[in-house]
Structure 1
Amino acid sequence: MTDRADTLRSELRARLPDQLPPRLGVAVSGGGDSVALLHLLHEITQIEQTQLFAATVNHGLRPEAAAEADHVADLAARLGVPHETLLWQGWDGAGNLQDQARQARYRLLTDWARRNDIPAIALGHTADDQAETVLMRLGRAAGVSGLSGMPYARDQNGVTLLRPMLRITRQDLRDYLSRLGERWIEDPSNHDQKFDRIKAREALTGLGGLGISAQSLARVAENLAQAREALARYTQESARKFATIEGGDVCIDRNGFGLLPVEIQRRLVVGIIGWIAGQGYPPRGAAVDQAVTAVGAGQTLTLAGCLLIPHQDKTWFCRELNAVATETAAPQEVWDDRWVLTGPLTADAEVRALGEAGLPQVPEWRAMGKPRRALLSSPAVWSGENLLAAPLVDYSNGWKAEFASHRPEFYSSLLSH
């Protein structure tokens, strides 16, 4: 037991940052993978004097979910690890349930981490999860990025998500827990054939005769991740040459863009959309191809909450007005998940989009040289129907607009996908 546990700890530790942060989070659902991760991290952080915190997301989709969260809370208490249950509320039944639940899970976890000054969260994805991801993406004819699977680390909402067990199999973790005498919870959805991931899991069991296993597919994903990294650096270099930032918008030189390989054009479009609209799941391939064509042809296009506007020999990528038309925030709060506006104390001030009502109240907006539609979605300060300030449109009146601290700088964001 000791040798095997040492091997697991060593493998896991090798995939964590060289220097652990003073406070580290771990997401624990109660399943075997995350329970094993909690135990292993508890041992590692005790040695390295890092404080460990655990969180469980209760999606409220099954009657057993509350009891499962309580089970994790009891386990965490036994280990002396502070624990919090995060409840997902507000799903209206629209959209794909699994996708909505996944997005909510990451949002709840990163909000929890930021609230508790936790810079990184470890997640319990394994080599089996990576292999299943690769198989599913093969079925969608994915390219290099898709087939490189889940990264070991990535930034989301200003928090680093860590996946240190992508070389460890599900069975190894369950063997480890069995030797510890620790129990875990089996989610019944893990056997539901209506989910693509479960179909991929079943298909993987029949590929052993070809030498295809969870470990081999995880290594394939790692190899392709290295190729993805090289392409990301080429994309960043290209952006520095042909893209400029103007008040939260990205302006592309169309002639320079046209000289780039199509793969780099696609990556640049996806990176710009993600930086402006937020790091959700990127647009589908056909939509990205349409955007690449629109840039080259100098056409206007709406995509994923962004607006592409041709102007002279440039194309502007900006926030679409409809995407923020109903967004409101108080001064000093985050608006549209990226802007913070500060200025003179005004009792009834509110941050909203500049919009069609506000632009005519800005005397010199034409002097900025930006397309009119690119200005409409910029953040502005209102008192009722009276425009107080629009800092990004040269109408500041003592106000300023700054990026929220959790939003990355544009060029560096191209390496974090």
Structure 2
Amino acid sequence: MTPGADSLDQRFAEAMGAALGPDFPSDIVLAVSGGGDSMAMLTLAHNWAHVWGTRLWVVTVDHGLRPEAGNEAALVRETCDELGHPHTTLRWRWDGQGNLMDAARRARLDLIGRWRGGLSHVLLAHTRDDVAETFLMRLARGSGVDGLSAMTPLREVAETGATPLDPEACDGARPPEAAVPSGLTIVRPCLDMRRAELRHYLRVLKGRWVEDPTNEDDHYERARIRKLLRGLEAEGLGAETLAATAGRMGRAREALRARAVWAWEQCGQEGGAGDLVFERDRFAALERDTQLRLLAAALQWVASAEYRPRAAALEGLLERLLSGGAGTLMGCAARAERDRLRVWREYAAVAGTSVTVGDTALWDGRWRVFHPDLRGHTVQALGEEGWRQAAPAREAHVPHALALCLPSVWQGETLRACDALGVGPGATTTLEQGETQGAGFKGFLLSH
């Protein structure tokens, strides 16, 4: 829809209908920072929810990076009090590791994911300007079709895990828990709106917002790109043009994704230990882009990773596999065998990771573990000691390297269960990986 053709309220309602209709969730989370985009989204969502009877839960993440952040969270809370919606502030403190902006973004989703209880949908206020800025940022990094594709209105997010939320990090109400854990879906209803439109909407309604000074701070890449984009408008490379190009790249991504699904059906299969196997000759006959797409998706699926590996590292691993070699990447191991290529979880990536069996326990982001006789026991990677203890009962032919990373249940130093090796009562683990796991790796390909 052309921006400005209808009121923002109508466009917001249409975007919500396209994303979640016609049977809307009874409760939805809104991530609101206090900036113009998210405060406008809050007002739009308030008007929409009043019509459709949906309850809104508003959450603000205070990253602790600026002294003004507390006041901005307070502004959101005051607005929510006026509108009649519960509000919560979640606090995060950077540990100084890695890229700050990337760490803050990941922490934001992680905190919301652990706070949300049984709610499945989180609204974010990304705009058409954000799409254009992201396009330029990724273009500067040499991204291909996937990286240059526009953000999607809906995105499934891998489960954040079972780590409880620190009560000290949460100030406000918490949604009720669900009997059955649900996946998390990001919803972006403002992707077809411009930043200036949203601020105009707030001005007309006399709404309040704050301008984040980091948006003009050249220390941050997005701030520099935002300034660059202003200068490109006169050359015909403004936000509308770049966002439209990102949309076309998105259509190309869909075609390439369909090709990868077809190729998987011709040459791939899921192994018995959470691994993936490709027929070596058929895989080698595929065009390079499809090979890279399949390998990247295999690494993501096995490692429960949110993002694809960097292009150079991925291409290097592919070259080694096609040459008959092996390698590791993203916490996965891969090797060429006589007539196949195999990708599985690297033991070093899961060694020392454990959870306790309760009603359910998710280990390594993909294995759901449950059995009434095993409550209170520990789930961890099998490892060498588990391989040794499993020897008398081993029924399945699982290669040693794959077996080491299998989920197993322990009581102290004693192995109690490992389904893949025929140890224990059986049916203690199922492979789960977000909303697409029911369709296996093919479902993952379709959604990534």
Is residue 63–residue 91 contact of structure 2 (8 Å, CA) maintained in 1? Answer: yes
The reply on whether 1:341 has 2:369 as its aligned counterpart is yes
Provide the C-alpha distance between the structure 2 equivalents of 1:53 and 1:6, rounded to a whole number of angstroms: 27
Equivalent position amino acid for 1:389 in 2: A
Structure 1 Cα separation of the partners of residues 224 and 68 of structure 2: 24
Contact 1:316 1:374 in 2 (8 A): no
Picking from 96, 99, 107, the partner of 1:96 is 99
1:227 aligns with 2:255: no
Aligned letter for 2:285? L
Structure 2 vs 1, CA of residues 217 and 150 (structure 1 numbering), >3 Å: closer, same or farther? same
Q: How many Å apart are 1:226 and its aligned residue?
A: 1.0
Cα shift at 1:40: 0.5
For residue 289 of structure 1, what is the aligned residue in structure 2?
A: 315
Tell me how far 1:190 sits from its aligned partner.
0.7
Change (3 A) 1:189 1:365: farther
CA deviation profile, 1:168-193 (whole Å, cap 9, x unmatched)? 11111111111111110111111110
- Answer yes or no: is the 8 Å Cα contact 1:359–1:365 preserved in 2: no
Q: Match for residue 324 of structure 1?
A: 350
1:285/1:119 Cα in 2 relative to 1: closer, same or farther (>3 Å)?
Answer: same
8 Å contact from structure 1 (residues 243, 252) kept in 2: yes
Shift of 1:34: 0.4
1:269 maps to: 295
How far does residue 273 in structure 1 lie from its aligned partner after superposition? 1.4
- Deviations 1:360-414 (Å, cap 9, x if unpaired)? 2222687634432111111101122211111122223345111347353221111
> Which among 336, 339, 346 is matched to residue 310 of structure 1?
336
With over 3 angstroms needed to count, the CA separation of the structure-2 counterparts of 1:348 and 1:148, relative to structure 1, is closer
On the 8 A contact 1:126/1:168 being kept in 2, the answer is yes
What's the CA shift for 1:336?
Answer: 1.1
* Matches of 1:8 and 1:241, distance apart in 2: 46
> Is the contact made by 1:127 and 1:167 (CA closer than 8 Å) also made in structure 2?
yes
Counterpart for residue 152 of structure 2: 151
Shift in Å, 1:66: 2.1
| AA at the equivalent of 2:382 | L
Report the equivalent of 1:202.
Answer: 227
Q: Secondary structure at the match of 1:358?
A: helix
Which consecutive segments of 4 or more residues in structure 1 shift more than 4 A?
3-6, 364-367
Distance 2:322 2:242 in 1: 37
1:47-103 CA distances to partner (integer Å, 9 max, x unpaired)?
1222222111111222222222122122112111222222224x4211111111111
Separation in 1, partners of 2:64, 2:366? 29
Distance 1:252 1:369 in 2: 18
1:345, distance to aligned residue in structure 2 (A): 2.7
Question: Alpha carbons of 1:223 and 1:170: their partners in 2 closer, same or farther (altered >3 Å)?
Answer: same
Alignment partner, residue 187 of structure 1: 212
Q: Which residue of 2 aligns with 1:55?
A: 59
State the shift of 1:12 in Å.
2.6
Amino acid at match of 1:44: W
Maintained 8 Å contact 1:333/1:341: yes
* Deviation digits for residues 272-294 of structure 1 (CA, Å, limit 9, x no counterpart): 11112123222100011122223
In 1: Cα distance, 2:317 partner to 2:366 partner = 23
Is 2:392 the partner of 1:391? Answer: no
- Aligned-pair RMSD on alpha carbons? 2.0
Distance 1:341 1:348 in 2: 12
Please, which of 248, 263, 273 is the counterpart of residue 274 of structure 2? 248
SS of the aligned residue for 1:345 comes to: helix
Deviation at residue 348 of structure 1 after TM alignment: 5.6
Matched to 1:109, the amino acid is I
Match of 2:381 among 343, 353, 358: 353
Instruction: Tell me if the contact between 1:167 and 1:215 (Cα under 8 Å) persists in the aligned partners.
Output: no
Q: Which of 59, 78, 81 lines up with 2:82 in the alignment?
A: 78
Question: Given the two structures, how large is their TM-score scaled by the length of structure 2?
Answer: 0.87
Structure 1 window deviating more from structure 2 (5-14 vs 316-325): it is 5-14
> Measured at CA, do residues 416 and 347 of structure 1 come closer, stay the same or move farther in structure 2, by a change above 3 Å?
closer
Deviations, residues 104-158 of structure 1 (Å, cap 9, x unaligned):
1112223333x1x222111111111111111111111211111113222110022
> How far is 1:265 from its partner?
1.1
Quick one: distance in 2 between partners of 1:88 and 1:282? 26
Q: Distance in 1 between matches of 2:65 and 2:369?
A: 38
Question: How far, CA to CA, are the matches of 2:99 and 2:239 in structure 1?
Answer: 27
Instruction: Sort the Cα spacing of 1:39 and 1:33 in 2 relative to 1 into closer, same or farther, 3 A.
Output: same
Paired AA for residue 234 in structure 2:
G
3-state SS of paired residue (1:360): helix
Q: Aligned-pair distance for 1:209? A: 2.0
Match of 2:7 in 1: 7
Q: Is the aligned partner of 1:412 residue 2:440? A: no
In the alignment, the residues of structure 2 paired with residue 405 and residue 21 of structure 1 have an alpha-carbon distance, to the nearest angstrom, of 22
8 Å contact from structure 2 (residues 32, 39) kept in 1: yes
Could you tell me which residue of structure 2 aligns to residue 30 of structure 1? 34
Q: Which runs of 5+ in 1 are unaligned?
A: none
| Cα shift readout 1:277-326 (whole Å, capped 9, x = no counterpart) | 12322210001112222332232211011111333312221111111111
- Identical positions, percent: 38
| Count of equivalent residues | 412
CA shift for structure 1 position 4: 6.4
Q: Find the counterpart in structure 2 of residue 68 from structure 1.
A: 72
Q: Deviations over 1:314-366 (max 9, x none)?
A: 22211111111111111132111221222243576211110111112222687
Decide whether the 8 Å contact of 2:408 with 2:418 is kept in 1: yes
How many Å separate the matches in 2 of 1:47 and 1:399? 46
